[in-house]
Structure 1
Amino acid sequence: MNEDREVLKLVGARIRALRKEKGYSQESLGEKGGFHFSYIGQIERGEKNVSLVNLAKIAESLEVNLIQLFAYVDEEFEVTEDEKQIKEIVQLLRDSNSEHIRTAKNVVKGILM
């Protein structure tokens, strides 16, 4: 049961981080997704076992892909320099257009194969 709560807290912390990154209050995020601000607070504190449908609404309101809500880093997990570099590359790709993504894919394939 503690492991269940830990997942809820990690996802909630990720939602909080993304919300703050966007400059949204709990109230404004709630309004965008059709939720009461107290519900957003409960999710962020890991107190609510939120449904996948509601997570999708929250992701849409934050203007991120659903998978990004699960892209948290456990504080106990030490992030290596390689992991930091990979995260930076992924962010660069997310910010790129389709043509640049295809080019980057071909370059990486050429280097690794």
Structure 2
Amino acid sequence: MDKSRWGKRIKAFRKLKGYTQIQFSDAIGVSLSIVGEVERGQRVPSEAFLERTVETLGIPIAELKPPID
């Protein structure tokens, strides 16, 4: 799994929905540093992180998954 591709998509959808990193981290119940690490591609998002992300952003998981090359 390409960590940076997950992070780029999460960041794009977060911004599209109007969340700052602080607001988003509060909404999904993780620290700001974890959100930053995921968005920078330094951490693979956990299953719980992804579940909370799609719920908070109101998108299906299929929209969030990076395309396969």
TM-score class, shorter-chain normalisation, is: 0.7 to 0.9
- In structure 2, C-alpha distance between the alignment counterparts of 1:39 and 1:8, rounded to whole Å: 13
Paired residue total: 69
RMSD value, Cα: 1.7
Q: What is the Cα deviation at residue 73 of structure 1?
A: 5.3
- Between Structure 1 and Structure 2, the one with more helix by share is 1
SS state at 2:62 partner: helix
Contact 1:12 1:44 in 2 (8 A): yes
Identity between Structure 1 and Structure 2 (%): 30
- In structure 1, C-alpha distance between the alignment counterparts of 2:25 and 2:7, rounded to whole Å: 14
SS state at 1:64 partner: coil
The structure number with the bigger radius of gyration is 1
SS state at 2:51 partner: helix
Aligned structure 1 segments of 4 or more residues deviating by more than 6 angstroms: none
Aligned to 1:67: 62
- In structure 1, C-alpha distance between the alignment counterparts of 2:38 and 2:23, rounded to whole Å: 15
What is the TM-score with the length of structure 2 in the denominator?
A: 0.86
- In structure 1, C-alpha distance between the alignment counterparts of 2:45 and 2:13, rounded to whole Å: 17
SS state at 2:55 partner: helix
Aligned to 1:85: none
Which has the bigger relative contact order, CA under 8 A and spacing at least 6?
2
What is the TM-score with the length of structure 1 in the denominator?
A: 0.55
2:19 to 20, 24, 35: 24
Q: What is the Cα deviation at residue 69 of structure 1?
A: 1.1
Structure 1's unaligned 5+ residue stretches are 78-113
